[in-house]
Amino acid sequence: MTIGGAPAPAAEAFGVVNPTSGEVFAECPSASSDQLDEAVRAARRAFEDWRRTPDETRQAALDEAATLLEEHAEPMARLLTLEQGKPLNGLGSRFELGGAAAWTRATAALTVAEEVLQDNDAGKIVLKKKPLGVVGSITPWNFPLMIAIWHVMPALRAGNTVVIKPSPYTPFTTLRLVELLNEALPPGVVNVVTGGDDLGKRMSAHPDIDKMVFTGSIAAGRSVMRSSADTLKRLTLELGGNDAGIVLPDADPAAIAEGLFWGAFINSGQTCAALKRLYVPDALYGDVCDALAGFASTVRVGDGLDEESMLGPVQNERQFDKLRGLVDDAKRTGGTVLCGGEPMDRSGYFYPVTVIADLADDAALVVEEQFGPALPVLGYTDLDDAVARANASTNGLGGSVWSPNVAQAADVGERLECGTVWVNKHGAIQPNAPFGGIKQSGFGVEFAQQGLDEYFYGQVLFR
């Protein structure tokens, strides 16, 4: 770990499994409570200078961090594949490293400006932006590096200091990231502690952390909110999704198959804003199912270190078992398996791309977030009914509408209850567009000016 700018070994360790083999491939330090306190103290000390550091210096530090990420991209990508399973190629580890550097630069380029609310004979009123203090960051295992960047960079740019805790399933790229960041930043500005869910709970309850930024499951998000209540921490919660896509009757199944496929199966479906339920008009149902299953047969699933692989294994055994249970239940309850449907016959947590037709709306695979490579395709007769079914979820992260008539698709999209809507694509994110969920997918946004603003408090100055 890195605490106060120095390496921090731990007395205890836990094994981390490579999902490609299903075997432990390395030991990770397990932070004690004292080490968490030490990390928070280091961040608090560093905050005194960092909050007063000129913004241009902070910008330059982020740019330097981006350069370091670019220089170390290939070994970092390999480490990411080892711990996460995703392929080096396709929308995999190299893509994630590229995104991490690009997001860091984009965050460096944002503007931090005070706002003059009034300036007249009656006086001047200025809205200042002030950093909050110590930010605690907790990240999941699906995009461990990218999500760490999304938390850490805006927090730093705004003048906060950070203690980050990665998922115990994928701790190593974050440990390495923080090591690298400490080459560009003063000691204590970014600290990393590793450990299990209890460590996350202690962070959320910690009296000297001012804000938590959490990305993970809805259940853990609720727990973070509960643990944070006594200290009334600011929160950004990016939680689970069960995104719906609606194909309109004028769509061409062959033309949309590839976009639908990657919208659903990016990172083996282990993506918060992936397409997780697809609604298709009855007249196109067979053709869309065939086109999806046909495209799936062209995509190679295999060892992430193999340059030919486009998708890797499911990341961990718990997720693998959950996925298998959902697909088995779908088969028992009348689902038709169009491709996949059984674990692959090899070591590790490999599950093939699976498309399932003919399920009822109350099937577990439709209602729950599968977070894996299995997509239910559901038919509809009436568009209003499809919109109502898409919205009949406690989640509200993203949604998509598919049609050559973009204006009409956008109109339907606006009726979806979610934080982001896409036309003829699903899951696209950019550093210049805020991203976040509604309903139980969380609150607060990341990216762009609006995302940066979550790391300030506003101080109103009358003078």
Q: Which residues bind ligand NAD (CB under 6 A)?
A: 138-142, 147, 165, 167-168, 196-197, 200-201, 204, 215-217, 220, 223-224, 238-241, 272, 369, 371, 397, 437, 442
CA angle 244, 247, 251 (to 5 degrees): 160
**Position closest to ligand NAD via CB:** 200
Q: Which residues are catalytic?
A: 238, 272
* 87 vs 200, beta carbon nearer ligand NAD: 200
Dist. CA 237–CA 427, nearest whole Å:
18
Q: Quick one: 223 or 405, whose CB is closer to ligand NAD?
A: 223
| Cβ density class 406-425: b for 16+ within 10 Å, e for less | eeebeebbebbbbbbbbbbe
Amino acid at 424: N
Q: Is 379 helix (H, G, I), strand (E, B) or coil?
A: strand
- Cβ-count burial of 170 within 10 angstroms (0-12 exposed, 13-18 middle, 19+ buried)? buried
- Rounded Cα distance between 105 and 55, Å, is 14
The torsion angles phi and psi of 134, rounded to 5 degrees, stand at -95, 125
Residue among 41 and 201 whose Cβ is closer to ligand NAD? 201
Of 53 and 223, nearer to ligand NAD (C-beta) is 223
CA–CA dist 221, 215 (Å, integer) = 8
Task: Please give the Cα distance from 166 to 388 (Å, whole number).
Answer: 37
Residue 335: which of 363, 308, 313, 315 has the closest Cα?
363
Kindly tell me which of 281 and 313 has the beta carbon lying closer to ligand NAD: 313
Task: Report, in angstroms and rounded to the nearest whole number, the Rg of the chain calculated over CA atoms.
Answer: 23
For ligand NAD, the closer CB: 197 or 287: 197
Residue 122 CB, nearest approach to ligand NAD (Å): 44
Query: What is the nearest approach in angstroms of ligand NAD to the Cβ of residue 40?
Result: 15
Cα distance between residue 437 and residue 413, in whole Å:
15
